[in-house]
């Protein structure tokens, strides 16, 4: 019997680690801290995970997969570039909102991965960003967006705004993630339109 809503012990370890890494940063988090949060001894962690870095890797690559899937879905649909961009933004926000803790780790701690994992991770991220850049370019070519906009600047501003969100968004606030995504998309996409 596999767990359904419940988490395996390994998943519990990873989840608690994500909270710890988010709070203190990866390098400042010790395996003894993590063990204490779980109420076990540090050495016992290693029956569930291979290493501290393995936890970071699984957090980062799982998030990367979610982001990719969300954008796949957006690209499958037809419509003007501005609409695609809006849906891409809303999707990105929703993926983050599903796990703000992992998102914060993904964003701020990925650099602590060793090679070749870091390299692979950065390639995934560049690819994802380029797909957004392509949508912006499509919008410029179709005349939806001003041709005066600086694509690199636009896409960097976009991701800055999106990626900082786990740092200030309060999941208990009265604004729900999908509305937040819509509002963010309004602010960011409208600035590009003719």
Partner DNA sequence: CCTACCGATCGGTAGG
Which residues of the shown chain bind DNA in the complex (CB under 7 A)? 9, 29-33, 35, 38, 40-44, 46-48, 50-53
> In the complex with DNA, which residue's Cβ is closer, 43 or 123?
43
Task: Note whether 32 and 44 are within 8 A (CB).
Answer: no
Residue 187 binding partner per list DNA, a second copy, none, with a CB distance cut-off of 5 to 8 Å that depends on partner kind: a second copy
Q: How far is the CB of 184 from a second copy (least distance, A)?
A: 7
Residue 160 interacts with, from a second copy, DNA, none (CB under 5-8 Å by kind): a second copy
Instruction: State how far the Cα of 113 lies from the Cα of 55, in Å rounded to an integer.
Output: 10
* Nearest residue (CB) to DNA, 52 versus 86: 52
46 in Cβ contact with 34 (< 8 Å): no
Q: Report the nearest approach of DNA to the CB of residue 119 (Å).
A: 19
With respect to DNA, which residue has the nearer C-beta, 53 or 75?
Answer: 53
Selection from a second copy, DNA, none that 38 binds (CB < 5 to 8 A by kind) is: DNA
Residue 65 binds which of a second copy, DNA, none (CB < 5-8 A, kind-dependent): none
Nearest to 100 by CA among 6, 21, 10, 192: 21
Q: How far is the CB of 124 from DNA (least distance, A)?
A: 23
Least spacing, CB of residue 80 vs DNA, in Å: 49
Phi, psi of 114 (to 5 degrees): -90, 170
For a second copy, the closer of residues 91 and 181 by Cβ is: 181
Q: Which does 150 bind (CB under 5 to 8 A by kind): a second copy, DNA, none?
A: a second copy
């Amino acid at each position: 019997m596999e767990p359904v809503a419940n988490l395996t012990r390994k998943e519990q370890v990873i989840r608690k680690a994500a909270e710890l890494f988010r709070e203190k940063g990866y390098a400042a988090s010790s395996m003894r801290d993590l063990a204490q949060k779980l109420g076990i001894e540090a050495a016992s962690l290693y029956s569930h995970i291979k290493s501290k870095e393995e936890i970071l890797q699984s957090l980062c690559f799982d998030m990367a997969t979610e982001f990719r899937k969300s954008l796949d879905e957006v690209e499958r649909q037809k419509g003007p570039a501005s609409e695609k961009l809006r849906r891409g933004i809303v999707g990105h926000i929703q993926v983050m909102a599903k796990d703000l803790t992992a998102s914060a780790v993904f964003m701020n701690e990925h650099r602590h991965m060793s090679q070749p994992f870091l390299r692979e991770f950065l390639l995934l991220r560049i690819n994802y960003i380029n797909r957004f850049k392509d949508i912006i370019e499509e919008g410029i070519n179709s005349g939806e967006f001003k041709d005066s906009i600086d694509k690199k600047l636009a896409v960097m501003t976009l991701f800055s705004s999106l990626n900082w969100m786990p740092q200030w968004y309060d999941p208990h606030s009265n604004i729900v993630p999908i509305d937040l995504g819509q509002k963010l998309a309004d602010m960011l996409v409208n600035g590009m339109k003719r």
